[in-house]
Chains A and B, each alone.
Chain A
Amino acid sequence: MLAETLLVARKDLRVEWRAKVALGQVTPLALLILVVFAFALDANTSLLKLGAGGLYWVAVLYGGTLLIQRSFDVETDDGNMDAFRMSAISAPSLFLGKALALFVQIGLLELVLGLGIAFFYEVRIVDWALLLVAATAGTVAFSVCGVLWGVMSAGLRVRATLLPLLLVPVLTPVLLAGSRAFETALGVRADAGWTWASLMFVIAAVHTAIGLGAFGFLLEEG
């Protein structure tokens, strides 16, 4: 199962590396969102520092949705879903493989956005460990939810609008928990940052369990 998972993840990452859509389009766009937020808040540095956690996760949500969409567009455009169904790779391995590839891509996006809020919003990190754990938990949650909802809208004509409609309500608790954890890590509020980070892991675990069980049903056609 591990070999199959790594095989699928490697395939997705190789496709992405060759196309360079994440690097060349999604990441600059997400950075631009951070700049636009600054315009919207009249470049008020103290306000930006206060809201940095929330703005960061909104940018991740935006960029992450594009990456998830792309991860399944690549498969459906070339008819790969049929190839997956006919291949000997198990549905759980496919689910985990695609989630792993998305984890790497969203993780890199978060790294760049992290540098972005440090540079543009001048934030100061007071709890590195919490920041890293919350970012990891959020990335896992985004990846597994992304694969689950991505396959749900894959191959449908209206997938560009359907995916955000399905994904955003599910990811809102992750967004809320991530924002609170980051606010604690950035010293904006003395709150239960670790509890919020744990909540993100719980959400990720629930979706992973559902994904492992249901991915086979979602792959089957007709």
Chain B
Amino acid sequence: MTVVTTSRVKMTATPITRVLGVLALAATGLMALLGLVVSPADVVQGEAVRMLYLHVPSIWIAYGAFVLTSVSSVLFLRRSKRRADRGRHYDRLAGSAAEVGVVFAGITLITGMLWGKVTWGTYWQWDARLTTTILLFVTYLGYLALRRLPADPMVRSRRAAVMALISFVNVPIVHYSVDWWRTLHQKASLSVGRRPEITGEMYWTLLYSTVAVTIVAAWLIIHRYRVIRLEELRDEEALEALISSRLTKDDGNN
């Protein structure tokens, strides 16, 4: 990915992220092979179980990305007054993680709907897990909308940081909704401190898929962070050029 908008930074890729990109591509290919060919069909769910190898890791990545957004937002709020750079890198990290989180939350919803059509016979059920997930998705869409508003960057970033913290309240609600309410949605397939609901090749494929999707998400977040930085540099350079052209014009008039 090459960007030639500024004189100071020309690329969003470095040798390390190129390696990460190749690794992400290879990991995704192997994930497809394991999920579609090696892993067997489920006795109850049949071939539809293959959807879970993308569905489950996607929501975990979305949760992780939203955790990263919240932590970065706290650090941004703490440092925005004290540091010379005003903690802008934390704001960028929060924004890029939220964007990736929203993409993976969207993938979770789409794969869940497709799985629901095969298994439940309908794309959508007003079940607690589905309803809270779509609310989470819309809340973070609002967060991204707030980040794109035409306003002073620091004001916008500060408001977005507070919103990220409030929005995070939804994450545990989504995750524990299957335990707190009676839902059609099955319990978590993998959960810390609880025996896995699946075993054998399915278990290992799901575990591997989580690792593969994590690599893809990390690659996306890094590149998104750099693109945001490039956009900021472009805006700063455009402003500097505008000011200098104005000064030159004023000198000419005098």
Contacts and interface: CB of A to CB of B under 8 A. Distances in A.
Contact of B138 (A157, A162, A169): A169
A170 B142 CA distance: 11
B159 A218 contact: yes
A172 B142 contact: no
A218 B158 contact: yes
Given A162-B145, A170-B139, A156 B165 contact: no
B162 A166 contact: no
Contacts of B166: 148, 170, 207, 210, 214
B165 A210 contact: yes
Given A165-B142, A169-B135, A222-B154, A152 B163 contact: yes
Given A169-B138, A172-B135, A162 B158 contact: no
B85 interface: no
B139 A158 contact: no
A222 B152 contact: yes
A202 to B, nearest CB: 11
Nearest to B80: A217
A206 interface: yes
Assign chain A's interface to a size class. 20 to 34
B135 A221 contact: no
A157 B149 CA distance: 8
A217 B139 contact: no
Listed residue (B149, B154, B162, B165) with the most chain A CB atoms within 10 angstroms of its CB: B162
Most chain-A Cβ atoms within 10 A of its Cβ — which of B77, B142, B155, B161? B142
B150 interface: yes
B169 interface: yes
Given A162-B145, A222-B155, A157 B162 contact: no
A4 to B, nearest CB: 22
Contacts of A218: 158-159, 162
A158 B149 contact: yes
A169 B162 contact: no
Given A170-B166, A206-B169, A218-B158, A152 B146 contact: yes
A46 to B, nearest CB: 22
B151 interface: yes
A220 interface: yes
Interface in A156-177: 156-158, 162, 165-166, 168-170, 172-173
A198 B155 CA distance: 35
Contacts of A173: 135
Given A152-B162, A217-B158, A220-B158, A169 B139 contact: yes
Nearest to A168: B138
Contacts of B154: 222
A210 B152 CA distance: 23
12 contacts: A152-B162, A155-B151, A156-B151, A162-B142, A165-B141, A169-B138, A170-B139, A206-B169, A214-B162, A214-B165, A217-B161, A218-B159
Interface of B: 77, 135, 138-139, 141-142, 145-146, 149-152, 154-155, 158-159, 161-163, 165-166, 169
